[in-house]
Structure 1
């Protein structure tokens, strides 16, 4: 029996786990860019899809395997890169193979705004478009699962970026292995292993130039923050602290994800109780923010404007601060605020409405959402479509930034 390359064996085992439990003929899509990670995933899925059965070793029924390639059109020749990736997927036997080029909504680049409202920047905008295109392709084809090629290195970079932002446990928990129909089977593999899979499979992968640092003396060009973490920060950490830094960061993400899942569940419960406790009075009238000392008039219940989320302040105030602040952040996300844009400063402003109320006026939130307090309740209003900062048509965000 021919010896299987260790990287190929590791990749196959990871994909086998991701495909387990699927029914006969279920369709699995691979999100493929033509890079080493996603191309290695496409090759591994093409091999393993024919083997999936009632156990990880049986050759029972097979699943169908296809691919979706998203072309953002942000770089010269991107259409050729996408066409080549699609051709490689078809040559591997994947079918169907879809190529999507999502339309970019008109919006201002807020990445340089001093208030932090644009912390997501163009990378976050491209990510949202990519996931939107992937989800549309999955719905169109009826795919049971979509596999993404993120590796342990990507996870380590994600944790470092979260640390740099001063983010909480949810952000430091990194990317989940499973969310809805999405799966990330390679989160336990290093990037070097995916490159080895491509080499063993005779695949020539594409290297995104934005993932590379500029050569010394070369003309300055835009380099995404993630690429700078990859090319500069992680190597310095490995050199200073010794090998295994990336693995340690990924383990930290796994541990924090369990904690964050539990806290999010408790925060959602608190949010539900705060909503349920709101009982509008029969004579309540919509109005401006209450004056200091007039927050809890007898018999005056809250009256929400259309589209406002109403939370009982007393229920929130009784909760532990860590849980209350997490619930307030979830409420902001439910109002359409982007996770990457919702900072500690915004949560502080919401928390002040609950625990240090002194008659302050409405507070602005990311994306044009707003919060106010009146009649013992906290009101959060989502932004209308097409806000003054140019943001339009945002899908409701998840609590995890991917």
Structure 2
């Protein structure tokens, strides 16, 4: 616990969250810093807690180059980190158009952070997502109807097959707490104009949807959404363990693709059957099947009436004897 006289409760809360995260990390860490209140509060707390645990920490500021003056904003954020006692660097990334402005910027940002972590020799990257970000993510997933994987929100810790562990120490901390922590430490955050642009769906959820829910249903909506995400992550982890235990017994390689046992799929509960289908499609072809597509593939096992191949992104699903094949399109 922090016992300094007059320590602001918001500062203590952020430090406590960071301290808990650092206790589970070995080696150096990168602090992803944008200059906004969440990442600044994270950097401030890390600068305080890391030296006390013998952890080397360096702030990395990603400059996407998408706004005029972004280089100056990035330099100011790096200078702020240095004033806290952290090493800091600015990494310029190229945003390649692919899925949309938000997704493209996010992909470039994470790639830049991963490269910086490798150069620094850090095994973990600390991200400043808060409980409010988690609640927004759950609402956006609910609106898209994208299933429990999306409703499970952001994981507190996620390890890539290659690259660093992504750690979110502040997922239990409200955004207002990070704002208060910066004010208590006399640090002025940068305000990203994109965070007030209503063309972005997340901004509309933040500025309009969540406040209306809080006003109409009472306080605690954001916390309830975050708890829902936590429970769904537990379910998702349990399902994944079940899939990992059974997948080798029911899946075989096929020419130009992969095949799944019809009998095994039909014998499993629908929730597990559908997860297996989505998992196989993603693992083999890197595609995320929609609910409708998943159900159509499942019908090849549960409601077989001689239907022909099903056209999916990058592949076809077809019934061949006692197996369902997912094969690359010619």
**TM over 0.5, yes or no?**
yes
How far residue 64 of structure 1 moved from its aligned partner, in angstroms, is 0.5
Q: Which has the larger radius of gyration?
A: 1
Hey, what's the Cα distance between the residues in 1 that align with 2:90 and 2:326?
39
Equivalent residue number for residue 98 of structure 1 = 89
**Cα deviation digits, residues 106-141 of structure 1 (max 9, x gap):** 54x5xxxxxxxxxxx332232222222222222222
Q: Which position in structure 2 is the counterpart of 1:8?
A: 11
TM-score, normalised via structure 2 length: 0.90
Distance 1:35 1:381, change over 3 A: farther
Q: Does 1:325 align with 2:274?
A: yes
DSSP-derived class of the 2:71 partner: helix
Contact 1:337 1:369 in 2 (8 A): no
Residues 353, 80 of structure 1: alpha-carbon distance in 2 compared, 3 angstrom cutoff? farther
Counting matched residue pairs gives 322
Q: Which runs of 5+ in 2 are unaligned?
A: 160-164
Instruction: Please say if residues 310 and 317 of structure 2, whose CA atoms lie closer than 8 Å, have aligned partners that are also in contact.
Output: yes
Check 1:336–1:69 CA distance in 2 against 1; reply closer, same or farther (3 A cut). farther
Q: CA deviation at 1:338?
A: 5.0
Confirm or deny: 8 A CA contact 2:61 2:90 kept in the other structure. yes
Please say if residues 255 and 327 of structure 2, whose CA atoms lie closer than 8 Å, have aligned partners that are also in contact.
no
Is 1:250 matched with 2:226? Answer: yes
CA contact (8 A) 1:71 1:78 kept: yes
Q: Given the alignment, which residue of 70, 74, 87 partners 2:79?
A: 87
- 1:377 aligned residue: 323
Please give the per-residue CA displacement for 1:89-119, whole angstroms capped at 9, x wherever unaligned.
2222222x23223333454x5xxxxxxxxxx
Change (3 A) 1:371 1:134: farther
The secondary structure found in structure 2 opposite 1:192 is helix
Deviations 1:40-69 (A, max 9, x none): 1011101111112xxxxxxxxx11110222
Q: CA deviation at 1:309?
A: 2.4
Match for 2:111 among 120, 132, 144?
132
Q: Name the structure 2 match of 1:217.
A: none
Equivalent residues in 2 for 1:213-252 (5 A)? 213=197, 223-252=199-228
SS of equivalent to 1:34: coil
Aligned to 1:390: none
Mark the CA change 1:231 to 1:369 in structure 2 (over 3 Å): closer, same or farther.
farther
Distance 1:383 1:66, change over 3 A: farther
User: Which 4+ runs in 1 deviate beyond 4 A?
Assistant: 381-384
Which of 235, 247, 255 in structure 2 is aligned with 1:304? 255
The two structures have a TM-score, normalised by structure 1, of: 0.75
Name the SS of the counterpart of 1:76 in structure 2. coil
Measure, in 2, the Cα distance between the counterparts of 1:233 and 1:21: 35
Distance apart, 1:333 and its partner CA: 1.7
Q: Tell me the distance in 2 between the aligned counterparts of 1:191 and 1:47.
A: 20
Higher helix proportion: 2
Structure 1: gaps spanning 5 or more residues: 53-61, 110-120, 215-222, 279-301, 385-402
Distance 1:382 1:337, change over 3 A: farther
